[in-house]
Amino acid sequence: MASEDHIERTFVMIKPDGVQRRLVGKIVARLEQKGLELRALKLKNLDIETARKHYTEHKDKPFYDHLVYYITSGPIIVMAVEGFNAVRAVRQLVGATNPIEAVPGSLRGDFCLDTVRNLVHAADSPEAASRELSLHFGAEDYVSEVRIGEHND
């Protein structure tokens, strides 16, 4: 294993189009099949204030208001996933922002055509993951790595 390989926790959001199209199970399954582990998951409606904080890096871009409107237009799934090089692994699995450029086998390459309604948001760096996770989860939301039948006594 290379020295840069390490366990990371990252943030993933299934956008309203993914929830509406009933692709949640397929998306979660692909994350798990990749070897990533769920540490927290919520189905929720995102309020405008949190959406603006979440997409703060885009606030001066022309699509910002539309993005905030879209992401608050229906229920979303937010997840904390963990694994080796999770940020890069999830970004690769999700695929290019423009689904037409996303490779077949990626979530966007397989399941969508629209750049805004592109199913999934994934943190693009460990720093972004930390910031986004803190917007959506508190310490009480995370589950431990202990599996059924295993004890830490």
Cα 133–chain centre separation:
10
Catalytic-residue membership of 58 = no
Q: Where are the beta strands (DSSP E) in 28-143?
A: 37-44, 76-84, 120-122
Tell me how far apart the alpha carbons of residues 125 and 14 are, in angstroms, rounded to a whole number.
18
Catalytic residue among 6, 66, 121, 151: 121
Q: Which residues are identified as catalytic? A: 121
